[in-house]
Chains A and B, each alone.
Chain A
Amino acid sequence: MSEHKHHSTAPEDRLSFGQKFSYGLGAIVNNLLGGAIGFMSIVLNVGLGMNPALVGTLQAIPRFTDALTDPIMGFISDKTRSRFGRRRPYIFIGAICVGITFAMLWQLPAGRSEIFYFWFFLLGSILFYLFYTVFATPYVALGYELTPDYHERTRLMGVMNFMGQLAYVILPWLYAIMENDRLFANSVQGARRLAIVIGIFVAVVGIMPAIFLRERFASQTDGNGEKSNLLAGFKTNILAFVKGLVITLKQREFLKLCAGTFFLFNGIMLVSAFSSYITIFYVCGGDTDMGAKYMGIFGTINMISTLLAIVVVTWISSKLGKRLTFIIATSFTLFGSLFKWFCYDPMAPWKVLLPAPFIAVGMGGLFTLMGSMIADVCDLDELDTGERREGMFGSIYWWMVKLGMALAFGLSGYLLNITGYHVSMGGAQTSSTFLWMRIFDVTIPVIAASLAIWAVASFKITEERSYEIRQELIARRSKIPVPEATI
């Protein structure tokens, strides 16, 4: 099964567990911030009585600003030359600012009008997302450049992804904690206090990667051999940004990874609502308590399976290579999605739990392997362009993920309408509605996973090629010393 003879990671390319752990702390903060604002936004509707449509608008608008700020931040970070590096200053400042902004965002004064809350939260969340980008984009880019080794990158991403899952353990509890009338008078007060706790956590933990990690390209000059000055010429920078954007979007291997992620991740996201509806209304006959119980157990199994999958995928990748590991992991998700067809059984509701571990494998492997593969693409890009552009690649990749997720959530509502679902009918939907729900729920992820496999199957940077690229880069520039561990 092996693609070729395997390379061993050189000692100087290895990252200590402490370095990996430091990077993983950033992932907890990154995922916590992304999820917390969504989970806590329910307070705007339930606690402050804001119109759900306005709440939806509040969540949508910053996504548009994200589309612009993410690649710009990637570009700025890539072009920054400072004695602290290209990434760490932004991670440090960004973590503190985003922590403070998050805490302030939820200090909503009582007794104001709906429109006041709308503008307060809108302006606050635009600022929040701006600082979030300042933190997250260089943080992601830092991960791509911490080690030059093909396998060590996967291990780093494995630790990062594993630790990042911690945030998803915490997130579902946020609303329950805010609503707990033993702790807080009401959910609005709960949100205020909780936001301060999260803000402090973000500011303290988020700066750890900046403190304990060292950049490999911190002192490197750009391709022209001259230090570039960001403010030297606005026009020059704009042109350079557009040119960089175009080059990034023309990088075929990068586009394959984007396509693979887009299909797999969004295929699963697109039908995530369907699974809940089918479980509650078809399997459990409209018994929301029973449906919620099974969805909760499903989520727990999924979480544990994802954690295990990350460990296994990281290990297998060192034996089989990233591309083949991705194909195998995604095949598990494909099988799990097909398996769902046989597990929606109203006479045996527990069967809905069976596909969970299979589906989790592909999702657990996705962001572990993709991060590592994008790092390989950055090497190839340097070979082509002479520049290190991790920031640009990372920002476009994650922007694509976020955009796809927004599209998936938006589209899922339309798909639900197509099935003929009527909310007033509860569990008494027609047989054809349930049939179409199940067809969508199974076929969309199956097709999406197949497309993801197809997209990544022709990814050209194998282990062998990766080491060749590295040798060529070493020949072009002197070998960059790996900084010693600081912890």
Chain B
Amino acid sequence: MKPRKLFYLIGFVCFLCLTTSCQDSTDEIVKDKPDDVKTITITMLAKSSSNPVFLSARAGAEATARDLSDKNKKIDIKIDWRTPEIENAEEQAERILSAVNDGSDAIIVSCSDDSILTGAINKAVDEGVPVMTFDSDAPNSKRFAYYGPNDVEIGERVMTELAALIDEVGKVAVLGGNQKAPNLKKRVQGIRDAAGNYPQIEIVGEFYHAENATDAVATMMKVHEAHPDLVGWAMVGGWPFFSDSLLNQLEPGQLKIVAVDALPVQLPYIEQGIVNVFLGQPTFRLGEISVRTVIDKIYFQKDVEEINEMQLIRVWKDNLGGWSRQLRAWGYDGIPRKYLTM
């Protein structure tokens, strides 16, 4: 190699090294935290740590904490996960108080029972720890904000979707889950309200049951026997589809079904055409929006909206692949490969 070409080659290598080292220096300036960084600890209390919905919400909270910490050099946000293994409002209340004692900067909580948690929330706020609710609210407490679905609107949307599927004519049933759950009662109310817009649709009844697949399926079968001319179901939750038992009991297209939820275990019902539309919750955003709102409130001192409504996502056969990949990105496991590659 001629000396001149060798010189150019060395120059080129030096240039690449310089570029790389410049990038490292910039990384140092842009990414490193200063010494006086403020650590903000947000305690997160969902209803149950065995529920994949809340694990997804946790993934959203932690990803957002990382993102905001990266973008704002003077803060380092930590998510302190204190969710009980199974739903227990008393335990949630105790954990709120222990978080206050441990010096938490803010608390986000999905209330298993607002009547039990309102006192604990108020006490935390009185101690100077701001509280925000997500997914399930405690409207009479001193929490500064709530992020979650508008249950009346969800019910209205279920009915509107079903009406379109049955050409606004026929007998339909409402599957209501736990009759005492306040959020489910509001959804059923929304269905009733929307049904008023369709005079040729008859609601044969609102059917309640324990919130598990076995009881939900049994309730459905009883209704089918009693109303053989039923054309559709409006479901405020997707309990019958938490098991695969209905995959063999219902023919695709036999009934039109619209249900809230669209979790991985329920997706085969969409694939086989047994369920026409699921209204899926963007569960990742439960954590994401909550953490953003808390930081806006306590660090940036912004005025935040008290009620921030979650918009549900329509899931049907055409976007089964996209929704499956979205669920995976939100931290859900066990999604069949065939859906992910659709």
Q: Which residues of A contact B (CB under 8 A)?
A: 17, 166, 169, 173, 176-177, 179-183, 281-282, 284-287, 289-290, 304, 307, 311, 345-347, 424-434
Contacts and interface: CB of A to CB of B under 8 A. Distances in A.
Contacts of A425: 313-314, 319, 322
A434 B341 contact: no
25 contacts: A169-B23, A176-B26, A176-B30, A177-B29, A179-B71, A180-B30, A182-B74, A281-B322, A285-B322, A285-B324, A285-B329, A286-B326, A289-B67, A290-B329, A345-B341, A346-B325, A346-B340, A424-B313, A428-B315, A428-B322, A428-B326, A429-B319, A430-B319, A433-B322, A434-B322
B72 interface: yes
A430 B322 contact: yes
Contact of A181 (B73, B321, B323): B73
B322 A429 contact: yes
Nearest to B335: A285
B319 A173 contact: no
B340 A430 contact: no
B73 A182 contact: yes
B142 interface: no
The 7 closest A-B pairs by CB, nearest first: A285-B325, A427-B326, A287-B329, A285-B329, A430-B318, A428-B323, A430-B319
A345 B321 CA distance: 12
A373 to B, nearest CB: 24
Contacts of A177: 26, 29-30
Q: Interface on chain B toward A: helix, strand, loop, or mixed SS?
A: helix
A431 B311 contact: no
A290 B328 CA distance: 12
B210 interface: no
A177 to B, nearest CB: 7
Contacts of A431: 318-322, 342
For chain B, which range describes its interface: under 10, 10 to 19, 20 to 34, or 35 or more residues? 35 or more
B73 A285 contact: no
Nearest to B37: A182
Given A285-B329, A428-B315, A347 B341 contact: yes
B26 A173 contact: yes
B337 A347 contact: yes
Interface in B18-39: 19, 22-23, 26, 29-30, 32, 34
Given A169-B19, A347-B340, A432 B34 contact: no
Nearest to A287: B329
A431 B26 CA distance: 41
Contact of B34 (A17, A173, A182, A434): A182
A166 B20 CA distance: 12
B328 A285 contact: yes
B280 interface: yes
B341 A346 contact: yes
